[in-house]
Amino acid sequence: MYLPSGSVGEIISYLTQRNFNVNKFDKYVLVFMGFPQSGWIEIGSEKLSKFDFLYKLTTAKAAMQSITLIPGETTKYFLKQIAGELDLNYTVLIKEYEAQSPIKEGYLVPETYKVPKGISEKHLIYYMVNLSTKYHRQISQKIFGEWDEKKWFNFLVIASVIQKEAADVSEMPIVSSVIYNRLKKGMKLQMDGTLNYDLYSHDKVTSERIREDKSRYNTYLYEGLPPSPVCNVSLDAIKAAIFPKKTDFLYFVRNPKTLKHTFSKSYESHIREINKAK
């Protein structure tokens, strides 16, 4: 059930208006027991005496709800999803994220977050960003022995491309090597996954989209990495970005039967693999 914040008298009045069996004298009982909780609380479904009911108002735990961010999902798509699940304002969520996150995309840690029902947009974003900050600093310290924000965010950009492109975890260090190899040779990345940014997260990247998208996320059009991560990333993708496999691969194509990629060192070999995959 939901309890508003306010004085004990205001809470009793709120309950009375909603046909709960309480009266003005019960506020003295509540004051004796302790101050009531506020927000959504777990009151239970069993029948309670009035005394037990009033006691639960002061001791019940917050009602919790789970929201899950999966690796590879974009922040805008995720916030749009949870706005519906938690009955929150999507525009306010975006505004709070942009105000509190140090980077536009890729900062939130993919996991299941347990949050109290009735949480505000501001507090939800603060909770997720705060947890993510601790996570990023902890992993960076573990791997490098330091926290270099600029260097770490660059790895997140690479990790996000890996996350979008790799068929599974085993492919991640190989995809990472292709990214580094192409960058080293001054080649455009030309990877579809970089166009699955923001609310385009689940859109199929067509030749028309590649021609029409003029943003810096279009790695068919622009050299180098995207201006920011294109999605939120797993620890496996981060590790692959930091520790790429040593290969000479420059290309890869997806096999429609195995759903895995075939990697090639030359353009000619790559074309042969494309023809095989048709």
61-97 tens-digit pLDDT: 667 889 999 999 999 999 999 999 999 999 999 999 9
pTM check: above 0.85: no
Residue 60 carries which DSSP code?
Answer: P
Q: Which residues pair with 64 in a beta bridge?
A: 116
- What pLDDT, on the 0 to 100 scale, is given for residue 77? 98
Q: Where are the alpha helices (DSSP H) in 18-103?
A: 26-33, 50-59, 75-86, 90-100
Q: Check whether 11 has a pLDDT greater than 90.
A: no
Task: Give first-to-last CA distance, the chain, whole Å.
Answer: 57
Instruction: Residue 219: name the closest of 247, 252, 197 by CA.
Output: 197
Position 5 confidence tier, pLDDT thresholds 50, 70, 90: low
Q: Mean per-residue pLDDT for 214-219?
A: 98
| SS3 category, 187 | coil
β-bridge pairing 2-3 and 39-40: antiparallel
Token pair 């496996």 is found at 236
What average pLDDT does the segment 173-184 reach? Answer: 99
The pLDDT of 247-256, averaged and rounded, is 96
pLDDT at 38 over 70: no
Burial 77-98 (b: 16+ CB within 10 A, else e): bbbbebbeebebeeebbbebbe
